[in-house]
Amino acid sequence: MSTATPQKFEFQAEIKQLLDIVIHSLYTEKEIFVRELVSNASDALEKLRHTQITEKEIFDDKLELEINVTTDDKAKTITIQDFGIGMTRAELVENLGTIAHSGSKQFLKAMGEGGAKNSNLIGQFGVGFYSAFMVAKSVKVYSHSWRGAEQGHVWSSDGSGSYEIEESDGQRRGSKIVIELKDDCADYASDWKIKEIVERYSAFVSFPINLNGKRINTIQALWLRSKNEIKDEEYTEFYKFQSHAHDDPRLRLHFSADAPLSINALLFVPKDNTEKLGFSRLEASVALYCRKVLIDSKPKDLLPEWLRFLKGVVDSEDLPLNISRETMQDKALIAKLNTVITKRLLKFLEEEAKNRVDAYNEFYAEFGIFLKEGAAMDYTHKDSLVKLLRFESSLTEKGKTTSLADYVSRMGSEQKEIYYLVGPNRAALESGPYLEGFKARNLEVVFCYEPVDEYVMGNVREFDSKKLTAADHADVKLSDIPKPEGALSEDDTKKLTSFLKESLGARVEEVKASDRLVDSPALAVNADKFMSPQMRRMMKAMKKDGADEPVKVNLEINPRSAVMKRLFETHTTTPDRAKLVAEQILDNALISAGLLDDANPMVARLYKLLETA
Ligand code: FE6
């Protein structure tokens, strides 16, 4: 049979169907044809590299292992050329023209099973070449096999149902795919557009890619190289490239795993938390790759929400390129990746916290809020996350922090709970009335300064089997300490608390003698099981229902304080004035608790008291 004249072939029915599906289901992502053809070229080069090791005779053996992309906006063509293993005539026919070619049937099946619209499918099954017909009026494939004895050929088709093959002289080794673009796809003949697409999807292909003679991929897939060969500057350069960042990374984690999944990951924590600076909420931006080819630059479920501050790359060979958020199987695979990577990252942070305390604390000051979010919301990793939290406390110096584990190690044997107070800053908590009872008993209190802390502590609930307890809550029971001299007797105290309850009426749930006051005359403790003062403030700020209901507080008084002793004397002699004082004491306590909504009545009353002072 002579092959010198063009031979015409009909596409098999299955191929027509395949072409049809590719063209019609992926038309929203036409640009991926570039990724597919570049991936094919890269695979062909990789195969040649292997062949060079085992075979002596290679056609055109001096050629560089590189990919050349050229565009011609006048002729409306784009050409992708590789010097890889190339195809013989038989291979050209076989690779395209027969459905026997392994991937096609599976591909059709997968597309039918909900994979349509998924551009990753197509590379997976080795049918990426077909995507060229989304943008092509006609496609010509010039190819010469690495086997020297072969002739070169050109395959051509307009994708409508048939193709031709004829001999072609003067071919270099490898394949050259020339696409004559449809009129409405002429964009793909523009240099900048192709540059953008190649940089997006194929930036880490290991062979040089030249676009119109200029090298465009200069950054390596660092995550696949071994750690001890990589310099800090290379990591930084990679981080800046990958994350479009201008800062230096604060922390990095480069690791690989083989079981249960093959993973190569390179993760970075940036210098600054931009959410804290008031920028918008971060989006997941650790990109997912399979063997250096981008699958998704913002995969939503690859990492938990609270890790949205991470940058970098996860590459897994085990991913089917047809990964989809729809199928159960793939969801499970991503979930598995998620767990493995999150666990590894938590282990890394734990090591940092232990071995590089200052760096960890600086990281925590910037990004700790995300760990708190995780501790409160992510039940799977809660325990590891709570260990990573840091707080100031009544026993730390200002600006120094403690872990809950260290707090627990300092607890006396009779202490059963971990106490915390939420307030705007250290000074406010130290001068408020709540701390003194704990101080007098040598009980450490964790200080929380962020509005979310209330919510976090409430959700975390316990650490190391010890309950986290708000030190300003009515349920806190403190042990007896010896009563100092000169306090009101128990009887007199009873009389005074009855008087106060009578005077204050519905404004208080209960009035009682306090076991937690040392210096202050009185304090208000939150008696609301469901709403803390901080929550109430937040709800008021958001104008939520329920925030306007009267607060439920207990008033606790200090029978040792001069104010109370004096009030006890006057409550029988000048009851009207004593009633005003009682109300003033309650308002003072509410101010300290951050629960006084309207100061005007208090100011008016104070003037009244001052009149007779
Ligand atoms: C995909 C054209 C059929 C090689 N190099 C490159 N592409 C390749 C192969 N493919 N298959 C092998 C393909 C075509 C037709 C399949 Br017709 F590009 N670059 Cl070795």
391-482 CATH pick, 3.40.50.11260, 3.60.70.12, 3.30.300.180, 1.20.1070.10? 3.40.50.11260
Closest CA to ligand 1's atom 11: 95
Q: Does domain 485-613 have CATH number 3.40.1160.10?
A: no
User: Does the beta carbon of 23 lie inside 6 Å of ligand 1?
Assistant: no
Q: Percent of the chain scored above 90 by pLDDT?
A: 67
- Counting ligand 1 atoms within 8 A of each CB, the residue from 88, 141, 142, 177 with the most, and so the one to mutate, is 141
Check residue 82 and give its pLDDT. Answer: 97
Q: What is the mean pLDDT of the chain?
A: 89
Closest CA to ligand 1's atom 5: 44
User: Does the beta carbon of 40 lie inside 6 Å of ligand 1?
Assistant: yes
Tokens 């200029």 correspond to 214
Check residue 118 and give its pLDDT. Answer: 56
User: Please, which pLDDT band fits residue 546 given cuts at 50, 70 and 90?
Assistant: low
Residue type, 15: I
222-366 CATH pick, 3.30.230.80, 3.40.30.10, 3.40.50.1980, 3.40.50.1580? 3.30.230.80
Closest CA to ligand 1's atom 14: 129
For the segment 407-445, what is each residue's pLDDT rounded down to a tens digit? 999 999 999 999 999 999 999 999 888 998 999 899 999
Check residue 28 and give its pLDDT. Answer: 79
Q: How does strand 466-470 pair with strand 462-463?
A: antiparallel
User: Does the beta carbon of 393 lie inside 6 Å of ligand 1?
Assistant: no
Of ligand 1's atoms, which has the minimum distance to the CA of residue 37?
19
The answer to whether residues 580 and 605 touch, using CB atoms and an 8 Å cutoff, is yes
Whether the predicted pLDDT of 113 surpasses 70: no
Tokens 């009887």 correspond to 491
Cα of 209 vs centre of ligand 1, distance in Å, is: 18
Whether the predicted pLDDT of 315 surpasses 80: yes
Whether the predicted pLDDT of 114 surpasses 70: no
Count of other CB atoms within 10 angstroms of residue 200 = 13
Cα of 289 vs centre of ligand 1, distance in Å, is: 22
Whether the predicted pLDDT of 448 surpasses 80: yes
Of ligand 1's atoms, which has the minimum distance to the CA of residue 155?
17
Assign 101 to helix, strand or coil. Answer: coil
Tokens 């072969």 correspond to 150
Q: Pick the residue with more confidence: 593 or 488?
A: 488
Whether the predicted pLDDT of 490 surpasses 50: yes
Containing 41, the helix (H) or strand (E) segment is helix 32-54
User: Does the beta carbon of 84 lie inside 6 Å of ligand 1?
Assistant: yes
User: Please, which pLDDT band fits residue 16 given cuts at 50, 70 and 90?
Assistant: confident
Closest CA to ligand 1's atom 10: 40
Whether the predicted pLDDT of 228 surpasses 80: yes
DSSP code, position 259: S
Backbone angles phi, psi at 31, to 5 degrees: -55, -20
Q: Name the residue among 81, 107, 37 with its Cα closest to residue 293.
A: 37
Which positions ≥6 away from 280 have C-beta within 8 Å?
none
User: What CATH number has the domain spanning 7-215?
Assistant: 3.30.565.10
User: Does the beta carbon of 384 lie inside 6 Å of ligand 1?
Assistant: no
User: Does the beta carbon of 517 lie inside 6 Å of ligand 1?
Assistant: no
User: Does the beta carbon of 96 lie inside 6 Å of ligand 1?
Assistant: yes
User: Please, which pLDDT band fits residue 1 given cuts at 50, 70 and 90?
Assistant: very low
Of ligand 1's atoms, which has the minimum distance to the CA of residue 96?
3
Domain limits of the chain?
A: 7-215, 222-366, 391-482, 485-613
Q: Pick the residue with more confidence: 437 or 311?
A: 311
Of ligand 1's atoms, which has the minimum distance to the CA of residue 177?
18
Identify the weakest region by mean pLDDT among 82-91, 244-253, 532-541: 532-541
User: Does the beta carbon of 82 lie inside 6 Å of ligand 1?
Assistant: yes
Mean pLDDT value across residues 311-339: 81
Cα of 266 vs centre of ligand 1, distance in Å, is: 32
Whether the predicted pLDDT of 484 surpasses 70: no
Of ligand 1's atoms, which has the minimum distance to the CA of residue 87?
20
Containing 369, the helix (H) or strand (E) segment is helix 357-377
Angle formed by the axes of helices 357-377 and 451-460, to 10°?
70
The answer to whether residues 506 and 521 touch, using CB atoms and an 8 Å cutoff, is no
Check residue 99 and give its pLDDT. Answer: 45
Mean pLDDT value across residues 352-367: 97
Closest CA to ligand 1's atom 1: 129
What are the structure tokens assigned to 35, written together?
């990724």
User: Does the beta carbon of 44 lie inside 6 Å of ligand 1?
Assistant: yes
Whether the predicted pLDDT of 120 surpasses 90: no
Check residue 100 and give its pLDDT. Answer: 43
- Counting ligand 1 atoms within 8 A of each CB, the residue from 143, 153, 165, 207 with the most, and so the one to mutate, is 143
Check residue 576 and give its pLDDT. Answer: 93
Which range scores top for mean pLDDT: 98-112, 392-406, 509-523, 535-549? 392-406
Of ligand 1's atoms, which has the minimum distance to the CA of residue 126?
1
Cα of 141 vs centre of ligand 1, distance in Å, is: 8
Closest CA to ligand 1's atom 19: 41
Which range scores top for mean pLDDT: 50-64, 69-83, 330-344? 69-83
Mean pLDDT value across residues 488-515: 93
Cα of 603 vs centre of ligand 1, distance in Å, is: 86
Question: Sheet of 392-393: strands edge to edge?
Answer: 392-393, 445-448, 417-422, 466-470, 462-463
Mean pLDDT value across residues 85-99: 81
Cα of 81 vs centre of ligand 1, distance in Å, is: 11
Mean pLDDT value across residues 517-535: 82
User: Does the beta carbon of 520 lie inside 6 Å of ligand 1?
Assistant: no
- Counting ligand 1 atoms within 8 A of each CB, the residue from 175, 177, 202, 205 with the most, and so the one to mutate, is 175
Whether the predicted pLDDT of 108 surpasses 80: no
For the segment 168-182, what is each residue's pLDDT rounded down to a tens digit? 999 999 999 999 999
Q: Is the dihedral of CA 321, 322, 324, 327 positive or negative?
A: negative
Mean pLDDT value across residues 234-261: 94
Q: Name the residue among 185, 186, 197, 190 with its Cα closest to residue 212.
A: 190
Whether the predicted pLDDT of 547 surpasses 90: no
Closest CA to ligand 1's atom 13: 129
Whole-model pTM: value is 0.77
Check residue 103 and give its pLDDT. Answer: 58
Which positions ≥6 away from 463 have C-beta within 8 Å?
386, 404, 405, 408, 418
Identify the weakest region by mean pLDDT among 108-117, 293-302, 490-499, 589-598: 108-117
Q: Percent of the chain scored above 70 by pLDDT?
A: 92
User: Does the beta carbon of 85 lie inside 6 Å of ligand 1?
Assistant: yes
Check residue 4 and give its pLDDT. Answer: 72
Whether the predicted pLDDT of 562 surpasses 60: yes
For the segment 582-609, what is each residue's pLDDT rounded down to a tens digit? 999 999 999 988 888 889 999 999 999 9
For the segment 273-290, what is each residue's pLDDT rounded down to a tens digit? 999 888 889 999 999 998
Closest CA to ligand 1's atom 18: 129
Cα of 130 vs centre of ligand 1, distance in Å, is: 10
Closest CA to ligand 1's atom 20: 86
